[in-house]
Chains A and B, each alone.
Chain A
Amino acid sequence: MGEFEVHRVRFFGLVPAGVRCLACQPRGGRLALARTDGAVEVYNFAANYFQEKVIPGHEARSVEALCWAAGDRLFGAGLGGDITEYDLARLCVARSVDGCGGPIWSMAANGSGTQLAIGCEDGSVKLFQVVPGGIEFERNLDRRKGRILCLSWHPSDTHIAAGSIDVLRVFDVRSGQTAQRIMVNYRVQKVKRECVVWSIAFLSSGTVVTSDSFGRVQFWDWERGTLQESHTVSTSAVLSLAVSETEDSIIVGTSTGATYQFQLLPVKMGSLEKRWVRTKPFQHHTHDVRAVAHSSTALISGGLDAQLVIRPLMEKMQKKGYDAALRKFTFPHRRLVSCARKARLLLFQFSQHLELWRLGSTDETGKDGEVLSLCRMPEHLVQLKSKGPEHIYCSCVSPCGNWIAYSTASRFHLYRVQYEGDGVSIKKVPKVPKLLLPAYQLQFSSDSGSLFVASARGSVHVLQLLEPGGCKHLHTFRPPSGSPEAVYLLASSADGQWLAAVGGDWAIHIYNLKCFKHHCTVPMYGCAVTAIAIHPGTNNLVIAYSDQQLFEFSIPKKQYTAWSRMVQNCGLHKVWLERDSPITHITFNPKKPSHILLHDIYMFCVLDKSLPLPDNSALLMNQSTLKQLPETARQRQLHAFKICKKFQPLLFADLLDENCLVMVERPIMDVKTQLPLPIQQKKFGT
């Protein structure tokens, strides 16, 4: 099919932030995750655990606790002392209320989701009423010295258990008084160290489960104040704990990176007496497991190594399928890299700065697998620091490389970059039009003449870029029926006529840029869209969904193409559908109109529409086989998917020109070296 010159880029120094807390939506299909940099993400279980929403972090806004209340409202609280409600449609902070108790260490919503309890640095537990449009302070519970590190409501909402240092307390919610006070280090007399109760859970049976810095998971009878069971699971702290909704299974996370499952099992077959038994140990993380969650079918853990691990419980699985596979997410499900094809520039987006790099070049050619010597090294041109505490939502570099745009929660910046010889000058475009911020996605037109800004409520702004350095608001597209959700993906056609926009409701709207009109809506498909692109020749929109389905929609004809129908009829290869990471970018080769280039974290694929689709008996990843076959024998083995797994983890791939690719990798080892050292553990044999 062809040889590519691949620019293998490993200088994108992205270090994903560690996972700080997790919250499963009660009876819902979503998981909220907060990172140590204050970013909040929402994963959708139904959409193959797609990272559906991202609210970038904020320097001053750490998140120590997340909880869902009143159905689908998400609250966060952190050491800033504020309780924050997130707007999941607009992907920003909706409102913030001061907890008035100093840094907040913990927060928990009651069973009905009507009240929030927060545990503060000053030792107070405060109750807030969740009301429409915000929260209202209700009252303080009995205050004692010592920060409240964890909280848990009794399922009947009558009592709250709170873990502190050396002690756990149970409050009567009605009277606000301390109903029980239990010293957790009572039995450890010799040790003078303080025992931190890191996590707590109140079971409906009246058992309080604590995990502490001594590596113990303990079960207490709160009324008698007695210890029922104690399991020492680790020599270091047990940091997190989560109970399943049925209260028969517990997952705990330790600072050694190990997680353990406890299960409530009968002492004997058929016996009514049940005990908690430590059943399954897992070692998926290298660092502290700060957060765990227990969904109905999986154990979920997040660590400071930035990994989110979803480990399905096989006993809950009916059949082998997507849900039954262990999955690990380290990198975001969206791209942080943009590429100026013509100028051969890469723009890397970090949480608070951008880096602009020029790719190197070679004058050699070679055979498959050869490394060509460079005649010009890559060059770090510009580092653009975002001012203020807000993290960057999105960024983009224009195809010509002369424009850079980025947006934070409250500000939008556009820069004009000029290249004079080896020097680079960068100039901020003054007086950018006032837009509805934040912008969720930025996209330059292929002629670099205009900029599309994805915005809230389904709207897309069109800005005209003016030489030598200005811009003008041309139009704002809005979906005809309106939408509360923000647009998170954009694609424009090469001829400058079409713009496709995907909102949080997964509806794909297509607008005509010539007459600034809504053209059509792609038929709804009940899954999250992970990437879209418009073919430069045919103006077909290629859509990748999180269930790994691929669709091709003809914009001029307003219908799915014949090829797309054929794909749906034949079905994609089983192995393709079982992949666990979403397609994050689609691009095309203008010289080869039948090719679609797409990639996810683990593979790069050229999809040749002119070749037959592989059936399930064929080998999907057949490149190495093909390479061993003589030319004549290859023909029969060819199929549409040409997959290359050489570059991993692949954060970005794009076609620079006809046979030149750029691949941006971020080796896990490089990330690991940026992390603090994990707790030293003695390994057998060393």
Chain B
Amino acid sequence: MAALCESFTLCGLGPSGGVGLGGGLLALEPGPDPDHVLLTDRGRTATLFKVSDQKPLGCWSVKHGQIITCPVVCNFETGEYIAVHDDKVLRIWKNKDINLDKVFKATLSADVYRIHSLPNGGPVVLFKGGGVRTLDVLLEAPQQEIENIISDEVIKWSEAFMEGQQPVLIFATEKDGDFFVYVQKLKMNSLHKYKLEQQELSKPLSFTAYIKNQIITLLCLYSNDSVYKVLIPLQQNSEEEEQILSRSLLLNLSVSGSVLKGTSFVVLDKDHIAILGSLAASGEESKECLTIWNTKFQTLQTSKELPLGTSGQLWCYEEKFFFTHGKVLTVVMYKCETSSLAAAVGKLKDSQTPDVSSFVNWNTLGDEELVVSLQSQQSVALKSESKMTLRSKRNTVAKVQPDTISVGQLLLNLKDASTTVFEDELRQLMSKAQTPDFQATIGCVITALINRCKTNPKYYPRNFLLQIVQTQDLSYSLCPDLMAVALEKKDVHLLQTCLQQFPDIPEEITCACLKVFLSISEAYLQRIDVNLESVICYIDIEFNNKEVKTEIVENGFNAELEQDIWDTKITKRTHLTDDGEFCPVGPQKAALLNAVLHSAYSETFLLPHLKNLPAQQAVLFLRYLYYLYVKCSEKINTTLPGIRSPTVNQIMDWMCLLLDAHFTVMVMLPEAKELLSSLHKFVRAQVRFYSELNKIEGSLRELQRLNHQKDSQTYSIEVLELI
């Protein structure tokens, strides 16, 4: 819950720094140290304040007749102050300098709009024509030519960030009611121009922006009393075209009938913004006030009336608001805690959590949230663009450096890349494995692949998918569509691997896999590579048998005759399978079915889906289970050899489930009759066997007890050694 705390006056303001638009201050900039601000008024003076002491530490003025046109900023690296007066004259001085006439002076060739000082990047100078120079470059040749980029557009607002090691400058311009946004990356010397989506009857009044994960979020306060959000990806590669930026409504500044006419605003954290404006209820006089809004829940969190009026400017540094109120510069502290619904509607119990830090931490912004919104944003943007743009984008894909851009961004960029490029890129991404968010990366990758598969029915990167699944970092919930696509493509090997790897497959999908496995013909399966390790140890692979047989009988019989005999044998044997002696399915199918047997399930959820199994398949499956059961019972320890071979419990559970699900079918189906009766015979024999075992166990236990009693004879002489 955000709250406004105590306020105090920092200083009184001269006649020029008064109330009303056009009045006020030129700017308030952070000073060289924490708790310091630099105030530049609209006249000749700049003052350095220590905020908590409410005390000026230094004051500098330009000569009469001169006027400071660009707010004084502090170069954080050198501790120097930089100002521009009369549009072109650059001044740089230190704390100890008193007279600005005697400090460093450089006259520039073009008018300066603003100087932005970045903590690690040095000051950046933005000229009114849209040209940008770092101070260092500028000072090498002050009279250098400055290009005019924006022709007759007028800069309305600008802001600078550090992205990685390079300064990024963003500024907004206006021309005839159209608004444009420029993003300039200084080191790469790239400039992008965007056009803000036009809005009927309203225009942006104020901007603010922040950067996170290579995406600039631009917030605009519009004259229709709403705040809009515009996402600008930094990795834009189309240099020529001017793109249109679409916006999404972030906040509507109306609360119970009254509307806030905002004049300026700042972002506090991912859920909160503060707006200075006048709250106008219908039929009442509007009151100026400072408000904090929760954007997540669209609520007004707190407000403070400012009856003496403001200049409409608001700054925020170090959890303090600065604004002019009447004839003074007022400082208001605030607290801004993590928002919850309870807090937003004011129902949260007053839990004093002093340890909740309330500084703006953009890293708390959810990644996915961003990616998703970006995607939607992007798709809108793309639709409105020509195919030309797309092509140009595609061309730049190869140039993209994967280590500097986010996965989401990369995937977006790859969206329309050619198959080979696409896969290569993804492989490259995968190869950077074991990064902390590798799992998330892999999830994104597989989603991208699946999406591509869905849109392009011919596209199915079988091996690549298998390779990804085998990383063992996936789960069903991370890529719900993967198995659906695999089912559609009948990629049984992938399905088998998924069944073995994923812990969270829904019973519906398990059943669908079972259905596919049972329906695929053996002939088809023989051509397919399936992991056979679960069956290889116990199944009688008839083809091997056949070869062995032919070898043995080779001398004496001719092979063709033998072949015939073999065939008849086979047919006989398939009849015999009812006794559970021979495997009713091929080894590939058996391996696939074992994967199903191994998967986790809950009976309640499995049963309804199991009922959908066609009768023939159910009988086949039961036959296989019966075969496994007999195989298990052959060995005294009732476990099948091999890796991932089904356990006797799994076999029994599935058998019970299958019989439950297909009770009527089994009763009605003539071919099931024999199977059922032999199964029954076998089970009955087993029950008898185990009851005999029970008896033996009883006798053995009795013997054991007798043995024990013998041990406890009443007298013995024993040898005891103590060391």
Residue of B with least CB distance to A605: B722
- Docked CA distance A420–B350 (Å): 97
Q: Which of B430-487 contact A (CB under 8 A)?
A: none
Q: Encode A172-199 as 1/0 by CB contact (under 8 A) with B.
A: 0000000000000000000000000000
B716 within 8 A of A: yes
Are A9 and B721 closer than 8 Å at their CB atoms?
Answer: no
**Please, which residues of chain B bring their CB within 8 A of the CB of A1?**
722-723
**Please, which residues of chain A bring their CB within 8 A of the CB of B719?**
3-6, 365-370, 372
Residue of B with least CB distance to A595: B722
Q: Which of B670-723 contact A (CB under 8 A)?
A: 712-723
A125 within 8 A of B: no
Q: Among the listed B712, B714, B717, B722, which residue makes an inter-chain contact with A623, where contact means beta carbons less than 8 Å apart?
A: B722
Are B720 and A3 closer than 8 Å at their CB atoms?
Answer: yes
Residue of B with least CB distance to A377: B715
Residue of B with least CB distance to A629: B723
- Docked CA distance A3–B718 (Å): 10
- Docked CA distance A377–B714 (Å): 11
**Please, which residues of chain A bring their CB within 8 A of the CB of B713?**
10
A634 within 8 A of B: yes
Are B715 and A360 closer than 8 Å at their CB atoms?
Answer: yes
Residue of B with least CB distance to A667: B712
Q: Which of A636-664 contact B (CB under 8 A)?
A: 638, 642, 644, 646, 661
Are A646 and B715 closer than 8 Å at their CB atoms?
Answer: no
A575 within 8 A of B: no
**Please, which residues of chain A bring their CB within 8 A of the CB of B712?**
10, 667, 669-670
**Please, which residues of chain A bring their CB within 8 A of the CB of B723?**
1, 623, 626-627, 634, 638, 642
Residue of A with least CB distance to B712: A667
A141 within 8 A of B: no
User: Given known contacts A667-B712, A669-B712, is B721 in contact with A7 (CB within 8 Å)?
Assistant: no
CB distance from B719 to the nearest CB of A (A): 5
Are B718 and A6 closer than 8 Å at their CB atoms?
Answer: yes
Are B717 and A5 closer than 8 Å at their CB atoms?
Answer: yes
**Please, which residues of chain B bring their CB within 8 A of the CB of A133?**
none
A362 within 8 A of B: yes
CB distance from B579 to the nearest CB of A (A): 35
Are B720 and A368 closer than 8 Å at their CB atoms?
Answer: yes
Are B722 and A2 closer than 8 Å at their CB atoms?
Answer: yes
Are B722 and A606 closer than 8 Å at their CB atoms?
Answer: yes
Q: Which of B192-222 contact A (CB under 8 A)?
A: none
- Docked CA distance A4–B721 (Å): 6
CB distance from B716 to the nearest CB of A (A): 5
Q: Which of B408-447 contact A (CB under 8 A)?
A: none
Residue of A with least CB distance to B723: A626
- Docked CA distance A638–B722 (Å): 11
A449 within 8 A of B: no
Q: Encode A1-38 as 1/0 by CB contact (under 8 A) with B.
A: 11111111111000000000000000000000000000
**Please, which residues of chain A bring their CB within 8 A of the CB of B721?**
2-4, 367-369, 627
- Docked CA distance A371–B715 (Å): 10
- Docked CA distance A644–B719 (Å): 12
**Please, which residues of chain B bring their CB within 8 A of the CB of A644?**
720, 722
CB distance from B700 to the nearest CB of A (A): 17
Residue of B with least CB distance to A365: B719
User: Given known contacts A10-B712, A667-B712, is B720 in contact with A360 (CB within 8 Å)?
Assistant: no
CB distance from A628 to the nearest CB of B (A): 10
**Please, which residues of chain B bring their CB within 8 A of the CB of A606?**
722
User: Given known contacts A1-B722, A634-B723, is B714 in contact with A10 (CB within 8 Å)?
Assistant: yes
Are A8 and B722 closer than 8 Å at their CB atoms?
Answer: no
**Please, which residues of chain B bring their CB within 8 A of the CB of A374?**
715-717
Residue of B with least CB distance to A638: B723
Residue of B with least CB distance to A370: B719
- Docked CA distance A626–B723 (Å): 7
A378 within 8 A of B: yes
**Please, which residues of chain B bring their CB within 8 A of the CB of A377?**
715
- Docked CA distance A683–B256 (Å): 69
CB distance from B217 to the nearest CB of A (A): 46
CB distance from B568 to the nearest CB of A (A): 53
- Docked CA distance A414–B136 (Å): 119
Are B718 and A372 closer than 8 Å at their CB atoms?
Answer: yes
Residue of A with least CB distance to B708: A669
- Docked CA distance A102–B718 (Å): 55
Residue picked from A8, A372, A378, most chain B C-beta under 10 Å: A8
**Please, which residues of chain B bring their CB within 8 A of the CB of A5?**
717-719
CB distance from B710 to the nearest CB of A (A): 11
CB distance from A364 to the nearest CB of B (A): 8
Q: Which of A232-269 contact B (CB under 8 A)?
A: none
Q: Encode A379-418 as 1/0 by CB contact (under 8 A) with B.
A: 0000000000000000000000000000000000000000
Residue of A with least CB distance to B722: A642
User: Given known contacts A623-B722, A642-B723, is B715 in contact with A372 (CB within 8 Å)?
Assistant: no
CB distance from A611 to the nearest CB of B (A): 11
Residue of B with least CB distance to A631: B723
CB distance from A366 to the nearest CB of B (A): 5
Residue of B with least CB distance to A660: B717
**Please, which residues of chain B bring their CB within 8 A of the CB of A370?**
718-719
**Please, which residues of chain B bring their CB within 8 A of the CB of A3?**
719-721
Residue of A with least CB distance to B709: A669
**Please, which residues of chain A bring their CB within 8 A of the CB of B717?**
5-8, 360-362, 371-372, 374
- Docked CA distance A447–B722 (Å): 30
Are A369 and B718 closer than 8 Å at their CB atoms?
Answer: yes
Q: Which of B524-582 contact A (CB under 8 A)?
A: none
- Docked CA distance A113–B719 (Å): 57
CB distance from B365 to the nearest CB of A (A): 39
- Docked CA distance A367–B715 (Å): 18
- Docked CA distance A5–B721 (Å): 9
Residue picked from B712, B715, B722, most chain A C-beta under 10 Å: B722
Residue of B with least CB distance to A646: B720
CB distance from A371 to the nearest CB of B (A): 5
Q: Among the listed A2, A8, A360, A623, which residue makes an inter-chain contact with B718, where contact means beta carbons less than 8 Å apart?
A: A8
- Docked CA distance A390–B312 (Å): 108
- Docked CA distance A626–B722 (Å): 9
**Please, which residues of chain B bring their CB within 8 A of the CB of A661?**
720
**Please, which residues of chain B bring their CB within 8 A of the CB of A2?**
721-722
CB distance from A209 to the nearest CB of B (A): 41
Are A371 and B716 closer than 8 Å at their CB atoms?
Answer: yes
Q: Among the listed A11, A366, A626, A669, which residue makes an inter-chain contact with B715, where contact means beta carbons less than 8 Å apart?
A: A11
CB distance from B398 to the nearest CB of A (A): 65
- Docked CA distance A470–B715 (Å): 35
CB distance from A298 to the nearest CB of B (A): 33
- Docked CA distance A372–B723 (Å): 20
- Docked CA distance A9–B714 (Å): 6
Residue of B with least CB distance to A669: B712
CB distance from A410 to the nearest CB of B (A): 34
- Docked CA distance A361–B723 (Å): 24
CB distance from B439 to the nearest CB of A (A): 41
CB distance from A666 to the nearest CB of B (A): 11
Residue picked from B714, B716, B717, B718, most chain A C-beta under 10 Å: B717
CB distance from B713 to the nearest CB of A (A): 7
- Docked CA distance A644–B715 (Å): 19
Complex A-B: 30 CB contacts under 8 Å? A1-B723, A2-B721, A3-B719, A3-B720, A4-B719, A4-B720, A5-B718, A6-B718, A7-B717, A8-B715, A9-B714, A9-B715, A10-B713, A365-B719, A367-B721, A371-B716, A371-B718, A372-B716, A372-B718, A372-B719, A378-B715, A626-B723, A627-B721, A627-B723, A642-B722, A642-B723, A661-B720, A667-B712, A669-B712, A670-B712
Point out residues on B near A: beta carbons under 8 Å. Answer: 712-723
Q: Beyond the given A4-B721, A361-B717, A627-B721, could you list 20 further A-B residue pairs with CB under 8 A, ordered by the A residue number?
A: A1-B723, A9-B715, A10-B715, A360-B715, A365-B719, A366-B719, A367-B721, A368-B719, A368-B721, A369-B720, A369-B721, A370-B718, A374-B715, A623-B722, A623-B723, A626-B723, A627-B723, A634-B723, A642-B723, A661-B720
| Shortest 8 CB-CB contacts between residues of A and residues of B | A368-B721, A11-B714, A626-B723, A642-B722, A10-B714, A366-B719, A6-B720, A4-B720
